[in-house]
A and B are shown apart, each in its own frame.
Chain A
Amino acid sequence: MPVYSEKVMQHFMNPHNVGEIEDADGVGEIGNPVCGDMMTFYIKVKDNRIEDVKYKTFGCGAAIAVSSMVSDLVKGKTLEEALTVTPAAVAVELEGLPKNKMHCSNLGAQALHRAIKDYAIKNKIDIPGLTDKEEPEEDEHACET
């Protein structure tokens, strides 16, 4: 199935960090099954660093590979660093995504940002880069129903 890059295939066939964190410090969810892709990210934060990250993903090969890549990119990073991970950066790390999957399936970074936001709200802290990075209006995005 040569639609995807080798990197996408590697992450799809052997996704890293799949799972849930029972006592997560932050949870972020994005997408919906109607569109075909849905991701839930869980983070464990210690000393302002993402000590652990896990996720569950419903969706196509790209969505699963994106989730895996995001988890790799942010594990061990500070929250500020994690917030600099963008969907575009994820696509680059994956050696590209098919054009029609860029929008629908590349939601991992946003799901993670939501998890960080959840953490910030719960702990009443302000993280630079979070407030000015408001959610794009992707949520019930242009998937045609």
Chain B
Amino acid sequence: MKSQRLALAALLAATLCVGALALFLGLHSDAASQESRLEGALSELATAEARLDSDLLRVISLQLPHYDGVVASEWELRRQRDAVQAMLTKEIFRGNEMLSVSAGHYFENLDHKLDLLEQLKGEAAFLRNQISYIPFAVAEALPTLTADERLRLALISQRMLVYHAHPGAEEAQQLTKSLDQAGSLAVHPAAGPLLKHIQVYFQQRKLMDVAVEDYGLLDQPGWRQLLRSHLMAQLSRDQERLRLTSGLLWLFVTGLLGALAWAVSLLNRARRDAVQSTERLSKAIEGMAGAFALYDKNHRLVLSNQRCGEFYAPAAALLKPGMAYAEFVRSLIKANFVAEMDEEPNAVGESFIAEAGVQRSWHLPLTSGRWYQCSHTPTSDGGFICYSIDQTEHKLDEDKMSRLFTAVEQSPASIVITDTQGVIQYVNPWFCQITGFAKDEVLGQNPRILKSGTVSDEAYANLWRTISGGQVWNGELCNKKKSGELYWESASISPVRDETGRITSYVGVKRDITADKETASRLESTISELARSNAELEQFAYVASHDLREPLRMVSSYVSLLARRYSDKLDGDALEFIAFAKDGARRMDRLILDLLEYSRIGRISQPVEPVDLSESLKEALRNLEAAIADTKTRVEQNGPLPSVLAVPSEMGRLLQNLVGNAIKYRSIERDPEIHISAEDAGANWVICVADNGIGIAPEYYERVFGIFQRLHAHGEFEGTGIGLAVCRKIVQHSGGRIWVESVPGEGSRFYFSLPKA
């Protein structure tokens, strides 16, 4: 700092010196150039004077016919003189008295010269006049003169001529003498005036000569020389001073430049430092995770970081230095940025604007669903910093936490949290409700307060081993309520780890299963009952199949025997009777077999697997081969049949029954046609067996699936009425559905659904 100030002071001083010197130099060089110009002008003046002198010579020689040339020279001289006098300013003289005095003399002389010139012009004119007249006058006068007079006149004339040529004292004397001796000439009428003219000429000539002498005495050159010498002296002095001054000037300029360079380097360094610190600051601000904006005391933006624009995207374009805080807030409100808070957004916005600069912090819900935390901090110069961070995750976590907590609190399961030592840290309300203990009664206690005594110590030890080993323990415990009542609960106790994997606590979720337990035991007994009854039924079916059929077989066979042996002894009625008896026995056998089969369906011993229905169909058709050929039935498969999850044998039986029915209940008017197709129904396949038989009336759609239900008498169609019941049982056992659609007289379509394999 100090060095900077010193540098600036030196700079200033040097500048002032340079300025003064430059001024001084300017003035002096100006004066010097003026003096040189004056020198030049004086020379020209001298030339003009010389020209005038030569003109004057011509004038006094009486040889000039007119004076226009002389006047021109006069004018030129006057012009030069005025020019020089104009140049002789006070600056030139500058107190140099010798110079001003010599200049004064010079010009005085010059004016004197010009006056003499005028005089001489006049006198010369007169003399020319006389010179041109006198000869004529002489010529005129001569005839009227006497010889003696002529002689005297001639003498005078001669003497005048001589004086004219050589105006010396001797010649003047001679002329005077002869004029004095004029005598009678003076009174002669013609010669008298002539003599007068000559006398006047003589006088004028003398005057002119005096004037010429005066002119000669004007030592113009002398005065000019003096003036010049003084001027030159001054000039050389000035030039010397000028040289000195310019030398000093150069010195100072060099010094100045040096000081300037130094000052510039200092400034440069300062600027670099400033830039560096500004950069650091900028980087720091840009690096912030939150949105940073600095406002001055007029609530105008000074600077903001990029994050600010990202956070407040609708107003990002406004974020330039000088932006008003109010404008920023209002544009956000207008863009519907902020979600509804306690008050409506406009009022909120206005309150922000009004209270800007006051230290406060608040949570800002956005319409986008995110949450910002904004804080205003006033700065020392009256402005404020507005810093916003995205709190959404935090808020979500918070919400999650609170929701979690609420869930735990309100969960219909007892939740107990203990530390690694087994000391209860938390229980939820359900726990209290179940156990009867209040929250503060159990906090700090060990769960063994619930011990009922019915669980072995080994079981507890096992529990602890499991959970402290980091495993989850699942099991049932019989505990004791506060009231002493015992209850069962199904517990799931797991260790809770921190981020390093260390077990920090244990959480137990327990469900009261006392009721369940009862239900379970009841269920068990029911199951065993069912199993027993099932076994009985099995046996019954077995018995039925064998023991019931055996006597029937006997009846049938002996009746047949009767027919065979005694057919020639029996009449027609008797044979018919025998046939009826056989048929009856046969039918009963059929019935028994069907019942057996019906009872077999759904036995647990038959596993479910993927069954290719095409194969099942092939099997069914094989079994019905004879019937198909006899009835000229056409069986068509509309596409391949899929695989389903079912019992293989049952599938064969199912399809055989359906196809068999279709053949059986054919129409006499046409040849039976059976179409089998499959349709995708999401999780299931829906298979359709369609025929063109007699059809079924809608009111019987359900009845046909009933056990032993028949729509026709024996005489019309064969059958026990169990086929469709079997199909239903099969399909239901596989988890599907079976139904029929039909148009009486035209045909029927049987649908069944089975799960896909």
Q: Do A and B bind each other?
A: no
Q: Which residues of B contact A (CB under 8 A)?
A: none
Q: Which residues of A contact B (CB under 8 A)?
A: none
